[in-house]
Amino acid sequence: MTKLNIFTSIPLLFSVALLSSCATADKPEELGYGQSMFSVGEELYSTDFSNTNEWVIQVEAKEGPEKEVIEFHDGMLDLYMPARGCTAWLNHKFKGPILIEYKVLCPLETVNGGSIQARDINNFWHCSGVDNETDIFNYELFNGGFSSYGKMQGYYASTGGGGAVGNQTTRFRRYPRVVNEKPFPHIALNDRDGNEDYLITPGKWHTVQLVIFNGMAQYSMDGKVFYEIKAGDTVTVETVVDGERAVIEEEYNEETFPSYDEGYFGFRLVRTHHQYKDLKVYQLDPK
C-alpha cells in the first residue's frame, strides 16, 4: 500500500508514466448514441493509484481554517478540498475515440455543509492548453481556480454543482469559454439542472463514463446518459450579444464546433471530498 498525505497549496508536478494492460471481458456498456456507433475495444490504461508520478494536481491557492489533503491509498485517489478548487490531471495524453470510466464517492461526511459539501463531480477530457500549444500543466496559467481553465480546449461535464449550496446542477460544455480574454461562444447544456435523478447521492459509489467518438461527445453516470451530442443535433450556445450574455440554438457540426481528437483527462472538484477508484480508459471501434 502506498499512502501519501500532503498538506500544501503548492501544485504537484509529476512525470509521465503509463500503466497499460490487456483488454478484459468485463467492458463498459455502450450507451445512447454509442449503441449504434461503436464497440468498446482494447483497454488502453488502468490504474490502482499506486504510482503518484502519473498525476499533476493543481490546487487553488486559498487561505482558510482547513488545509487540503491529497492521499493515494487502498487503490484510491483521495482528495479533500475545503473551500477551494482542484484539478487532478492524469499525465498521459490520449488520442482518438476513447471511453473513460471510473468510480467516485462523496463520503457521508459531506452532507454536513460548511467548507466541505457533497458536490461537484466534475470532469475535463480531451483537453489541451490554448490553441493546443500551451502546457495544460502550467500552474501559472491553470491554477486550480475554475475560471483559469476557461481559455483551454476540451470538454467539461459536471454533476452536483450550483453556487454556495451545491448538488443542484448538471452541466456539459465545450471549451474554450474565453478567447483573448473575452467571452467566446461555447456549447452549454444545462436542462438537467434541479433534477434529483441526475445529482449526487452521498455515500454511494457512482460510476462515470466519458466518451468522445468522431465528434460525438457523451457524459453518463450509473448507466444513464446525462448528455450526448452528435453531428446534426441542436445545441444551446452561450455567447455575448450587444454586451449581454445570451443563449442561442445552433446545429452541432464539425464546421462550427470542430471536435477535439486528443488531450488530457482530469478530475475536477471544489469545496468537497472525493474518493476515486477503478479508473480505466478504452479504445472505441466503429460498428
Residue with cell 490504461: 45
Task: Report pLDDT for 249.
Answer: 97
Q: Which CATH class is domain 34-231+259-286?
A: mainly beta
Mean pLDDT, residues 75-89 taken together = 97
29: left (phi over 0), alpha (psi -120 to 50) or beta: beta
Which tens digit of pLDDT belongs to each residue from 23-65? 346 899 999 999 999 999 999 999 999 999 999 999 999 988 8
Ranges of beta strands (E only) in 65-143 are 69-73, 76-90, 94-95, 98-105, 121-128
Q: 32 forms bridges with which residues in the sheet?
A: none
Strand pairing report for 69-73 and 76-90: antiparallel
Is residue 113 predicted with pLDDT exceeding 80? no
What is the per-residue DSSP string for 190-242?
-TTTT-GGGS--TT-EEEEEEEEETTEEEEEETTEEEEEE-TT-EEEEEEEET
Q: Which residues contact 64 (CB under 8 A, 6 or more apart)?
A: 82, 83, 84, 115
Which SS3 state, helix, strand or coil, does residue 33 take?
coil
Instruction: Please provide the average confidence, as pLDDT, over all residues in the chain.
Output: 91
Least confident interval from 16-30, 176-190, 222-236, 240-254: 16-30
Cell, residue 78: 483521495
Q: What is the pLDDT of residues 126-141, one digit of tens each?
A: 999 998 889 999 999 9
CB proximity list for 67: less than 8 A, separation 6 or greater:
7, 8, 9, 82
